[in-house]
Structure 1
């Protein structure tokens, strides 16, 4: 560990670690539109968060605690993530998880599977991609994959994203499919899954997680699919997420 004398202090009084990089993700799109990822990390600043540095007030003031597997690839952030999940549970927050599998960031597939199963076992809401189901359960039959996952989770709502083929919501005995909003202006898909997930959580904040109807689920998927479609028409991810007005306009004109 670096001593204070080896570190620099920036204008805001934050300690800068010369050995920790600002993590960068590089996305390559092939001629079919499929993506591959490479990362500038190891160690990245996002990996260095310690349990004693967590701001628990942020969890106190939230309704939903959302996390992904990228904060569980390495220590000390893995232990910090575990601590935040435990705290959120004690505070009766809704727990949301997105595996967001990125194989290059893991030491091994076994470790990735172990941590992703841990996340699945903790959550109330699971957003998972079709390829992640196949990787995790060994089947490309989504219904069978969800059966396997449900044996190890108490998640009330499981949303499966199917890329250009739409999405499915599993809730209790309900299974709801929604067609995609295919867009002729699509240039890349980076951020589509995160946009979908955020919109699904928006619906949960609106309706709650108990007693959702088939209509509620259809509305959720329609909104999330439309938003995911819009982000594929712009380069980038977080900074180009669509506003609610844009999403509703697409739904009304599609």
Structure 2
């Protein structure tokens, strides 16, 4: 999971941007969309144990996403990406990962009970396709 930094004005390159706004990106957008469509949504992954990581976890929670699978790493940062859509339609991305917390998730950190609960739900026929309950 990462944080998008998008220019405060549209149609410019990253170098031309006068400033940037931060917003949830990538996996956060998909997970929140699933929750807003009325399905049960959870996130399993790792974030940095700092303001940006806790900001993302809070946004997920505010939007109905189950956060029991979130791990925080005191030694790593949450991934950042600066992204823009230029006037000519080309997208430009600059990622900051060195490595970022999401790249450091270990198998023993997975919330297996959360994963099992999703599997049980699917076996009972209460999931499987987005938008169905």
Q: Give the TM-score normalised by the residue count of structure 1.
A: 0.22
Higher strand share: 2
Structure with more relative contact order (C-alpha pairs < 8 Å, separation 6 or more): 2
**Radius of gyration: which is bigger?**
1
Q: Give the TM-score normalised by the residue count of structure 2.
A: 0.35
Higher helix share: 1
